[in-house]
Structure 1
Amino acid sequence: METPDSKQLKRVLKPVHLWAIAVGLVISGEYFGWNFGWAVSGTVGFLIATLVVTVMYVAFIFSYTELTASIPHAGGAFAYAYRAMGPLGGLIAGYATLIDFLFATPAIAFALGSYLHFLYPMMDVFWSAVFFNIVFILLNIWGVKESARFSVFITILAVGELLLFMGVVAPHFKMDNFMTNPMPFGWAGVFAALPFAVWFYLAIEGVAMVAEEVKDPKRNIPRGYISALATLVFLALGVMVFTGGITDWRKLSAIDYPLPEAIGIALGKSNSLTKLFASIGLFGLIASFHGTILASSRQVFAMARSGYLPKPLAMVNAKFKTPHWAIIAGGVISFMALYSGTTSQIIILSVMGAVVMYMMSMASLFMLRNKEPALERPFKATFYPVFPALALLLSAVCMVAIMYYNFMVSMIFFAGLAFCITIFMLLGMHKKRIMDDELLATPQQPL
């Protein structure tokens, strides 16, 4: 069967393209979502949480890159865990990755609706979010994908806007505002804020899904990942600190459009620069929105092709050569999330999937080092075993924080996982072996 990406497997991507894809996937997290962390921790408490999570991502990326370069498969963590742990491990990692990307999509849709509402108050947030979902589902089915060049363009535009934001609000920054009630809940607040700090970087791991298309992966994958992470760290800290000094931070801790609101406070909501910022901001959100739909549909397709999801989800549209049922299935999940949850709850669920996937990936790294010492590793984890162990530990801390402060959301996540495992076992999938050429490809055995 021809896959939707069968014409995209030539190794043409360079570091600048990987940088654009990674930053483009993540950059919506700089525009919204993180500010909910202020509500549970205050400005300084959230700054501490962000620094902890930044250390986690540095350790994670310098370790995860080994897996991406060694096993360049569109399934990402699903493929790594399957190879290291077998069918059940693959199921858990695949489920977590699906939750990560499938629920990031409606969260970004909410933000898109909120930005439109900020620009045009008569537009309803919910229905705007539904509209964006429908439009981008159709675009993806029709085969409209960002080219590498367009990814670079739209990402540079979004990064430039955040730099503009920092430049505009910097003169209005007041340390008194930032330091007002900085840790209202003490160190417990720092713990509670960890999931929202993860939102700053969540989805950077999506670059793994284009690993087969990278030119000279030994050099370029590390360069792409590291340059993207450096960009995101700078933007995350800059945006958070400057926004926190504009006004009473509590006014910005429960809305989906903190940056336009901050500029509106600094310059006035009728100021043309305020409107321009919110308008351009849509492009950054659209880049991430399109990227998460694309990434989640590839994950659904890869798992269905391997027998982990219903086979029809692996069907390729005869006319458009896209996995239309996989895209539609993701859209249905997105609609359900938009209807039933708030942005903060959806973000928590997405982050829960991410941290479980990070833990499974780091465990897979350790297991593959022992199980397959001869596996070609174009890039080896930096400071092994310290970095992967640190990433594993901090991911576990984040998971405990989510479970402690978001019990019901956590139960939903684990109930879904238990249901999937039950069906998996009843169908005897845990006893079946997937063909090597279908899942266990190496750089010398392209899919």
Structure 2
Amino acid sequence: MERSPPASSASASPHGAVLKPVLSTLQLWGIAVGLVISGEYFGWSYGWATAGTLGFTVTALFIAAMYTTFIFSFTELTTSIPHAGGPFAYSRRAFGPTGGYLAGAATLIEFVFAPPAISLAIGAYLNVQFPSIDPKLAALGAYVVFMTLNIVGVQIAATFELCVTLLAIFELLVFMGVVSPGFSLLNFTKGGWSGSDNFSLAAIPGMFAAIPFAIWFFLAIEGVAMAAEEAKDPRRSIPIAYITGILTLVVLAIGVMLFAGGAGDWTKLANINDPLPQAMKLIVGENSNWLHMLVWLGLFGLVASFHGIILGYSRQIFALAREAYLPAYFAKVHPRFKTPHRAILAGGAVGIAAIYSDELIKIGGQTLTANIVTMSVFGAILMYILSMLSLFKLRRSEAHLVRPFRAPLYPLFPAFALFGALICMATMIYYNPLIFGIFLLFLALGYVYFLMTARSRQDAEQLVTAEH
């Protein structure tokens, strides 16, 4: 039987792999918003297809409340246990190695499956400007470019992330300004309850089915936790980055959805990867310079999330490998750039395979992107559940743990976040049983490896104990 160590740290790694603490508060905010901001550009409009604009608004507000209470609660864990593994480290400390495995595997699925969806959206945006470009080839090119940038150095990567995030926010504000002259609330509300102008009980199933696409508005903001070891002052800077980040994203999500839906016939924007350019077309026409600007600047939002999530998945792979939950091969740090280069390449290989696996992933009558998004969301929701359970457990088992930031209104905030996550999980299982089955298969295969490598983790712990 494995035992859980009292704490996890880079210095206690048997592989001697250490990340450099170089990130500022502003850079962490850029990562927090940048990780998520692609969710303002695409993905959410699939929710309109099932719930309508008004039904989806109700769903999105519920999810926004869940994420806000989650982030205020999650920040307590991140500042108390600053570790590149993030949720893996918290659940391992609270529930032992098996808890660590489940949280680590769930987070890995979330962060490995989100980038291929974003890269496909990058391809779709480029295809608007250059119809001859194959969106999948563009997605592959995005992987090559931004994996390379992440390998070159985290300081360079974080500075780039901050710049493209600021440009992406500016672009969203420009979008709202350009479409505002044609905005009509009547456009937004027409057929807003799953095709009906009036609410009825028949609209409720569509609102539940739209949950994964509301989550996409905020998915991966928790990835800042995986940069904790690289923050200069994580106990001060991470709370600021998280709280200002979630508030920024809530405001942008409401604004983008409202202005896009009010631009014209919103049904033309459902089930597509580029709703913002298409919404702008309804106002300015197909040949406007505003449209060309939107396509080019719109790429910044997608690039910010794509680039940031590569940082996130690589740190998760690195942390799991460093603690012998994955092969130690992936725990190596580049001798010159001090980045987990092997982990970056490994996650990229999985994402590229997903892009070119249409027949495997295009299931349940949904598009490839929608199914990848759903798979990523399953990982996220399981991780949210485990993180909130870890918070409650550690409050009892480690009451004297130093907590630089404490969840406000405890236990109400973490309880609401846990309740929301459980509702989301139950709903997603009901509407996506086949994808959930594949998700469970991934967890089961990983668990077999986890059991097979139990001895190596015990040996690694004994080595660390002997050294200290």
**1:315 equivalent in structure 2:** 332
Which secondary structure does the structure 2 equivalent of 1:156 belong to? helix
Which secondary structure does the structure 2 equivalent of 1:86 belong to? helix
* Letter paired with 2:50: V
Which secondary structure does the structure 2 equivalent of 1:59 belong to? helix
Deviations 1:208-239 (CA, angstroms, capped at 9, x unpaired): 12223445544432222111111100000110
Which secondary structure does the structure 1 equivalent of 2:210 belong to? helix
| Cα shift at 1:130 | 1.4
Distance 1:106 1:43, change over 3 A: same
Q: State how 1:279-298 maps to structure 2 within 5 Å.
A: 279-298=296-315
Which secondary structure does the structure 2 equivalent of 1:432 belong to? helix
Structure 2: 5+ residue stretches without partners: 1-14, 195-201, 362-367
**Aligned to 2:424, which of 373, 398, 406?**
398
**2:86 equivalent in structure 1:** 76
Q: Is 2:292 the counterpart of 1:275? A: yes
**1:179 equivalent in structure 2:** 189
Tell me if structure 2 keeps the 8 A contact 1:87–1:432.
no
Distance 1:22 1:414, change over 3 A: same
In the alignment, the residues of structure 2 paired with residue 275 and residue 313 of structure 1 have an alpha-carbon distance, to the nearest angstrom, of 41
Structure 1: 5+ residue stretches without partners: 440-444
In the alignment, the residues of structure 2 paired with residue 273 and residue 315 of structure 1 have an alpha-carbon distance, to the nearest angstrom, of 46
Q: Which moved more, 1:268-277 or 1:335-344?
A: 335-344
* Letter paired with 2:98: L
In the alignment, the residues of structure 2 paired with residue 148 and residue 337 of structure 1 have an alpha-carbon distance, to the nearest angstrom, of 26
Distance 1:303 1:260, change over 3 A: same
**1:368 equivalent in structure 2:** 394
**2:173 equivalent in structure 1:** 163
In the alignment, the residues of structure 2 paired with residue 353 and residue 56 of structure 1 have an alpha-carbon distance, to the nearest angstrom, of 16
In the alignment, the residues of structure 1 paired with residue 264 and residue 445 of structure 2 have an alpha-carbon distance, to the nearest angstrom, of 46
Tell me if structure 2 keeps the 8 A contact 1:381–1:388.
yes
Tell me if structure 1 keeps the 8 A contact 2:176–2:256.
yes
Q: Is 2:283 the counterpart of 1:257? A: no
**Aligned to 1:248, which of 265, 272, 280?**
265
| Cα shift at 1:134 | 2.2
| Cα shift at 1:124 | 1.2
Tell me if structure 2 keeps the 8 A contact 1:93–1:356.
yes
Which secondary structure does the structure 2 equivalent of 1:295 belong to? helix
In the alignment, the residues of structure 2 paired with residue 294 and residue 18 of structure 1 have an alpha-carbon distance, to the nearest angstrom, of 12
Deviations 1:316-350 (CA, angstroms, capped at 9, x unpaired): 34454433321221111101211123101000011
**1:351 equivalent in structure 2:** 377
Q: Which moved more, 1:44-53 or 1:181-190?
A: 181-190
**1:46 equivalent in structure 2:** 56
Q: Is 2:35 the counterpart of 1:13? A: no
| Cα shift at 1:435 | 4.1
* Letter paired with 1:389: A
Distance 1:174 1:116, change over 3 A: same
Distance 1:434 1:427, change over 3 A: closer
| Cα shift at 1:411 | 0.6
Distance 1:221 1:322, change over 3 A: closer
In the alignment, the residues of structure 2 paired with residue 57 and residue 357 of structure 1 have an alpha-carbon distance, to the nearest angstrom, of 13
**1:412 equivalent in structure 2:** 438
Which secondary structure does the structure 2 equivalent of 1:27 belong to? helix
In the alignment, the residues of structure 2 paired with residue 74 and residue 330 of structure 1 have an alpha-carbon distance, to the nearest angstrom, of 16
Tell me if structure 1 keeps the 8 A contact 2:91–2:100.
yes
* Letter paired with 2:207: V
Q: Is 2:323 the counterpart of 1:306? A: yes
**1:92 equivalent in structure 2:** 102
Q: Which moved more, 1:87-96 or 1:120-129?
A: 120-129
| Cα shift at 1:436 | 10
In the alignment, the residues of structure 1 paired with residue 99 and residue 244 of structure 2 have an alpha-carbon distance, to the nearest angstrom, of 31
| Cα shift at 1:96 | 0.5
**1:227 equivalent in structure 2:** 244
In the alignment, the residues of structure 1 paired with residue 456 and residue 409 of structure 2 have an alpha-carbon distance, to the nearest angstrom, of 34
| Cα shift at 1:270 | 0.6
In the alignment, the residues of structure 2 paired with residue 433 and residue 240 of structure 1 have an alpha-carbon distance, to the nearest angstrom, of 52
- The number of equivalent residue pairs is 436
Tell me if structure 1 keeps the 8 A contact 2:324–2:456.
no
* Letter paired with 1:28: S
In the alignment, the residues of structure 1 paired with residue 340 and residue 63 of structure 2 have an alpha-carbon distance, to the nearest angstrom, of 35
Tell me if structure 2 keeps the 8 A contact 1:81–1:89.
yes
Distance 1:438 1:97, change over 3 A: farther
Deviations 1:293-312 (CA, angstroms, capped at 9, x unpaired): 11101110110111001121
In the alignment, the residues of structure 2 paired with residue 344 and residue 410 of structure 1 have an alpha-carbon distance, to the nearest angstrom, of 14
Percent identity reads: 50
Distance 1:436 1:212, change over 3 A: farther
Tell me if structure 1 keeps the 8 A contact 2:323–2:457.
no
In the alignment, the residues of structure 2 paired with residue 142 and residue 210 of structure 1 have an alpha-carbon distance, to the nearest angstrom, of 16
| Cα shift at 1:140 | 2.9
In the alignment, the residues of structure 1 paired with residue 21 and residue 308 of structure 2 have an alpha-carbon distance, to the nearest angstrom, of 18
Tell me if structure 1 keeps the 8 A contact 2:91–2:99.
yes
**Aligned to 1:330, which of 336, 341, 347?**
347
Tell me if structure 1 keeps the 8 A contact 2:94–2:393.
yes
In the alignment, the residues of structure 2 paired with residue 429 and residue 374 of structure 1 have an alpha-carbon distance, to the nearest angstrom, of 31
* Letter paired with 1:13: S
**2:365 equivalent in structure 1:** none
In the alignment, the residues of structure 1 paired with residue 334 and residue 232 of structure 2 have an alpha-carbon distance, to the nearest angstrom, of 29
Give the structure-2-normalised TM-score. 0.88
Distance 1:18 1:321, change over 3 A: closer
Deviations 1:186-228 (CA, angstroms, capped at 9, x unpaired): 0111111111100000111011122234455444322221111
